């Protein structure tokens, strides 16, 4: 059976990398698909004819392209075209005019290309061939499923190396748009859950209860990237409920640890209007790298060597009070049913009695701040148990089922 032809956006700065993008477009056509050349250059005239001009891209972002180019500020141009390309590509995808996207670039091209890709939903095929793909790509990929190809040589001309890489990338994006994603016959509503090693037992137990009740549970490791990814999928409308057991990323955001998920963590469920359960799991700890990387100002704090690469720091009563207020204020904005549960005997393995982070004063400050700032309209349940006690896990799962409109 002949494969159905798809349209793939080939986006790039066609003034400096026109021949390279044209080569990729031709390879896509050889695979039986259509290529839509999109110009996001802001320098000289494009060296190949685009299907969508830079003027059309700029207009999609409300940008005065002539004035932008006249200022000749490369950083400003990259930023402006990143925003405009994201809006244009999202609109093309939403209208069903493109089914995948591929881009080639160095620093500026990668910034623009991946910005456009980050505006597309999970599952939409995205390939970025970049000179930066062998380094830290976190700020380019973000929380999206972007495939990054190392360009090996610079994206500057067609030669035996670049043509090999570009041809493989074209083959990859064509394979991605051709791949059929068949929904499961027993597809179940999705629940997103946050977990750390210190809350694994709790989440595993709660997950089993939710799965027995007919839900599919996606678990995200609360390492900054995990929290941001969870929030992104919630924002994309893929999640039906949230089991936010492990809100520890807020401790890193407040104190300056390495696993922050940013200041918008705990907001997506509220904006999406989906039922949730929230607990202060692992707000007793801030994450740093190797012992030598802990800032000097924290030298006299309660530190715990989790492993040779990770050092944990116990949060103070003052920090816990701030964290309790933040958690309560975030949850107060939720529009769908939400329940806050407090495990009064320990919020992690390490804060249990006899463990290195056991600090009743800090825990009391956290719980008091939550209760003092939480709206009366939000259900609050205190459970006389440690967070990993099966009784607490059961209480969390049953509260979420109630909020989802299901009987436990």
135-139, 283-287, 319-323, 346-350: segment of lowest average pLDDT: 135-139
Q: Categorise residue 355: left if φ over 0, alpha if ψ from -120 to 50, beta otherwise.
A: beta
Q: How many CB atoms lie within 10 A of CB 385?
A: 18
Give CA separation, 273 vs 222, 237, 340, 403, 408, in Å. Answer: 22, 10, 16, 12, 21
pLDDT at 136: 84
CB 254 within 8 A of CB 290: no
DSSP state of 182: P
Q: For 207-251, how does the pLDDT look when each residue is reduced to its tens digit (9 = 90+)?
A: 999 999 999 999 999 999 999 999 999 998 999 999 999 999 999
Range of the domain at 396: 190-403
Q: Do 173 and 196 sit in the same domain of this protein?
A: no
Read off the pLDDT of residues 146-197 as tens digits, 9 standing for 90 and up.
999 999 999 999 999 999 999 999 999 999 999 988 776 667 899 999 999 9
More confident residue, 134 or 381: 381
- Does residue 185 lie within any of the structural domains? no
Q: Does residue 278 share a domain with residue 211?
A: yes
| Rounded-to-integer distance, Cα 109 and Cα 72, Å | 16
Q: How confident is the model at residue 271 (pLDDT cuts 50, 70, 90)?
A: very high
**Is 94 part of a structural domain of the chain?**
yes
Residues in CB range of 164: below 8 A, 6 or more apart: none
Average pLDDT, integer, range 318-322? 98
**Residue 157 and residue 63 share a domain:** yes
Residue of 399, 365, 408 whose CA lies nearest to 244: 399
Q: Are residues 139 and 215 in the same domain?
A: no
The residue among 178, 200, 221 that closes a domain is 178
Q: Is 384 left (phi over 0), alpha (psi -120 to 50) or beta?
A: beta
The span from the first CA to the last CA of the chain, in angstroms, equals 48
Give pLDDT tens digits for 57-111: 999 999 999 999 999 899 999 999 999 999 999 999 999 999 999 999 999 999 9
Identify the pLDDT of residue 3: 75
Domain shared by 149 and 222, yes or no? no
What confidence score (pLDDT) does residue 199 get? Answer: 96
Determine the pLDDT at residue 342. Answer: 98
In a domain, 358, yes or no: yes
The tokens describing 322, both together, are 């701030």
Q: Which residue has the tokens 């982070």?
A: 357
Q: How confident is the model at residue 1 (pLDDT cuts 50, 70, 90)?
A: very low
Return the SS3 of 16: coil
Residue 213 belongs to some domain of the structure: yes
Contact 266, 187 (CB under 8 A): no
Continuous H helices in 61-126: 65-71, 74-94, 107-118
Sequence-ordered list of residues with C-beta below 8 angstroms from that of 144, at least 6 positions apart, any chain: 117, 118, 120, 122, 126, 232
DSSP state at residue 51: S
Structural domain includes residue 184: no
Label residue 141 by pLDDT band (50, 70, 90): very high
CATH code, domain carrying 363: 3.40.50.12030
Q: What is the CATH number of the domain that holds 125?
A: 3.40.50.12020
**Which pair of structure tokens corresponds to residue 135?**
């380094």
Residue 362 lies inside a defined structural domain of this protein? yes
Is residue 198 domain-shared with residue 81, that is, in the same domain? no
> Does residue 159 share a domain with residue 70?
yes
Flag whether 303 is in a domain.
yes
Q: Are 167 and 299 contained in the same domain? A: no
Question: Does residue 155 share a domain with residue 200?
Answer: no
Q: Is the pLDDT of residue 2 over 70?
A: no
Rounded to whole angstroms, the Cα distance separating 113 from 128 reads 7
Q: Are residues 258 and 287 in the same domain?
A: yes
Q: Is residue 408 part of a domain?
A: no
What is the per-residue pLDDT across 27-55, written as a single tens digit (0 to 9) for each? 999 999 999 999 999 999 999 999 999 99
Q: How many domains does the chain have?
A: 2
The first and second tokens of residue 311, run together, are 């050092």
Give the other-Cβ count within 10 Å of 282's Cβ. Answer: 31
Task: Give the residues across from 303 on adjacent strands.
Answer: 313
Residues 67 and 214 in one domain: no
Domain boundary among 156, 178, 200: 178
Averaged pLDDT score across all residues of the chain: 95
Residue 282 has a pLDDT of: 98
Rounded percentage of the chain residues whose pLDDT exceeds 70: 98
- Read off the pTM: 0.80
Show Cβ contacts of residue 374 under 8 Å, excluding neighbours closer than 6 positions: 328, 331, 332, 340, 380
Q: Which helix (H) or strand (E) holds 128?
A: strand 126-130
Residue ending a domain, among 143, 178, 213, is: 178
Same domain, yes or no: 310 and 348: yes
């Amino acid at each position: 059976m002949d494969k159905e032809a798809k349209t793939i956006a080939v986006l790039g700065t066609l003034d400096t990398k026109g021949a390279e993008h044209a080569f990729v477009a031709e390879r896509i056509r050889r695979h039986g698909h259509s290529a839509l050349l999109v110009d996001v250059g802001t320098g000289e005239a494009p060296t190949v004819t685009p299907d969508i001009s830079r003027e059309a891209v700029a207009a999609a972002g409300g940008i005065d392209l002539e004035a932008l180019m006249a200022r000749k500020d490369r950083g400003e141009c990259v930023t402006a075209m990143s925003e405009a390309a994201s809006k244009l590509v999202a609109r093309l995808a939403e209208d069903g005019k493109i089914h995948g996207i591929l881009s080639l670039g160095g620093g500026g091209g990668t910034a623009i290309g991946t910005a456009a890709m980050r505006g597309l939903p999970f599952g939409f095929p995205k390939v970025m061939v970049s000179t930066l793909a062998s380094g830290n790509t976190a700020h380019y990929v973000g929380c999206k499923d972007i495939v990054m190809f190392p360009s090996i040589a610079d994206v500057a001309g067609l030669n035996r190396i670049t043509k090999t890489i570009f041809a493989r990338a074209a083959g990859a994006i064509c394979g991605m748009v051709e791949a059929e994603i068949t929904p499961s016959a027993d597809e179940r509503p999705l629940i997103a859950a946050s977990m750390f090693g210190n809350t694994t037992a709790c989440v595993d137990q709660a997950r089993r209860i939710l799965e027995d009740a007919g839900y599919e549970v996606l678990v995200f490791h609360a390492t900054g990237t995990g929290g941001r990814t969870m929030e992104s999928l919630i924002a994309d409308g893929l999640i039906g409920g949230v089991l936010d057991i492990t809100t520890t990323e807020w401790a890193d955001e407040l104190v300056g640890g390495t696993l922050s998920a940013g200041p918008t963590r705990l907001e997506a469920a509220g904006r999406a209007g989906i039922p949730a359960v929230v607990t202060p799991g692992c707000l007793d700890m801030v994450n740093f790298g190797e012992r030598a990387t802990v800032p000097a100002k924290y030298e006299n704090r309660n530190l715990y060597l989790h492993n040779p690469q990770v050092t944990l720091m116990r949060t103070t009563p003052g920090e816990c009070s701030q964290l309790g207020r933040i958690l309560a204020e975030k949850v107060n904005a939720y529009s769908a049913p939400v329940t806050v549960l407090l495990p009064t005997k320990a919020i992690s393995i390490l804060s249990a009695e006899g463990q290195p982070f056991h600090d009743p004063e800090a825990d009391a400050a956290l719980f008091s701040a939550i209760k003092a700032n939480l709206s009366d309209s939000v259900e609050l349940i205190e459970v006389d148990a440690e967070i990993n006690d099966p009784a607490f896990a059961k209480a969390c799962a049953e509260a979420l089922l109630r909020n989802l409109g299901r009987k436990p």
